[in-house]
Amino acid sequence: MRIACLGLGRMGFHIAGHLASRDGSDDVVVFDVVEELCQDWVVEHGGTAADSVAAAVTEASLIVTSLPSDRELDAVSAELVPLIADQAVWVDHSTTSARIARQTEGRVSVAGAHFLDAPVSGGVDGARRGALTVMVGGEYGAFARAEPLIGAYASQVRHMGPSGAGQLTKMTNQICVVGLCQALAEGLDFAARSGLDVENVVQAMLQGSSTSWQMENRADKMHEGEYDFGFSTTLMRKDIGLVLDEASALGVSLPVTALVGQFLADVDAMGGASWDWCSLMERQRHFGSASPTTDRQIES
């Protein structure tokens, strides 16, 4: 089976790698607008690099995309849809709006193929280990065909409902995690300023009611002030923007999500656009001794 993987960034590089190392006779073809990424991928995994979206997707039965945002998905869709093979399944792992997911699904289905919005959770480490959580929206029959292949790089693959439901589930995930990371930043800052041994405090809390994935995987980095890895402030700000747009259309109030979005704008202004977004800790350190009335935006 010919599999085309488009977008070889921090996530797509590993996703395509797991597909290439699956048992069987899959022919994995990759494309990224950054040519060096294609060359590096071929050196590491031995598949084929294409020189355009068109060359990659022609005759592919499965297409896997990991693109930054709505804009790139729309651009790829314009090139891809006229060439998509009959009954092919396109699995999109980009985090986008539910609106563009539904729009793309409509275009692809008119062309006789299938589109699944399938955003992921688990980060670069999850992609590297082949242990992502994948939340899928779209037609169930197409999901059932794609599920075993997605299993090459996921520990959990779930069908969430019709087109757009994957993106809405990912938005829910982001709503549930943003306040939690800010609370962790506040707690660690409070412990440090109280003179406690922060590492010891974290060990105690990991077995208690405040434990979380963030605490388990990010508390030490936050304590040490190491942010040069992971899911960037820029990408989290993009996700919060998608969430707030959707919430506004639904008439849902998300005050904590909106506030953390503003805090991440502060992190950006501190030079942290590319830092992992747990750098909310750095903002907390900066403002932690300020009075509540001044605990707001950095002057730009």
Q: Which is nearer to ligand NAD, 75 or 206 (CB)?
A: 75
Which class for 1: exposed (0-12), middle (13-18), buried (19 or more C-beta within 10 A)?
A: exposed
Q: What single-letter amino acid sits at 123?
A: G
170: annotated active-site residue:
yes
Beta pairing class for 120-121 and 132-137: antiparallel
Distance in Å, CB of 6 to ligand NAD, minimum: 5
Dihedral pair phi/psi, residue 141, rounded to 5°: -60, -40
Question: Per the residue annotation, which of 170, 218, 237, 283 is the catalytic one?
Answer: 170
Closer of 39 and 203 to ligand NAD (Cβ): 39
Q: In sequence order, what are the residues at sequence separation of 6 or more whose Cβ sits closer than 8 angstroms to the Cβ of residue 148? A: none
Tokens at 102, concatenated:
């539904």
Residue partners of 194: CB distance under 8 A and separation at least 6: none
Find the helix packing angle between 198-206 and 165-193, rounded to 10°.
Answer: 130
Dihedral sign, CA of 207, 209, 214, 220?
Answer: negative
Hunting for tokens 């919060």 — which residue is that?
240
Q: Which two tokens stand for residue 123?
A: 């980060």
With respect to ligand NAD, which residue has the nearer C-beta, 10 or 22?
10
Which residues in 49-62 are b (16+ Cβ under 10 Å) and which e?
bbeebeebbbebbb
Chain positions contacting ligand NAD, by CB under 6 A: 6-12, 31-34, 37, 53, 66-68, 72, 75-76, 93-95, 120, 123-124, 230-231, 235
Q: How far is the CB of 98 from ligand NAD (least distance, A)?
A: 14
What amino acid occupies position 14?
H
Q: Which residue is nearest to ligand NAD (CB)?
A: 9
Cβ at position 291, least distance to ligand NAD in Å: 35
CB of 79 to ligand NAD, least distance (A): 8
Compare residues 53 and 191 and give the one whose CB is closer to ligand NAD. 53
Query: In angstroms, what is the minimal distance from the CB of 126 to ligand NAD?
Result: 8
Closer residue to ligand NAD in complex, CB, 181/191:
181
Identify which of residues 88 and 235 has a Cβ nearer to ligand NAD in the complex: 235
Count Cβ atoms below 10 Å from residue 207 Cβ, excluding itself: 7
Least distance (Å) from ligand NAD to the CB of residue 56? 9
d(CA 3, CA 21): 12
Active site residues: 170
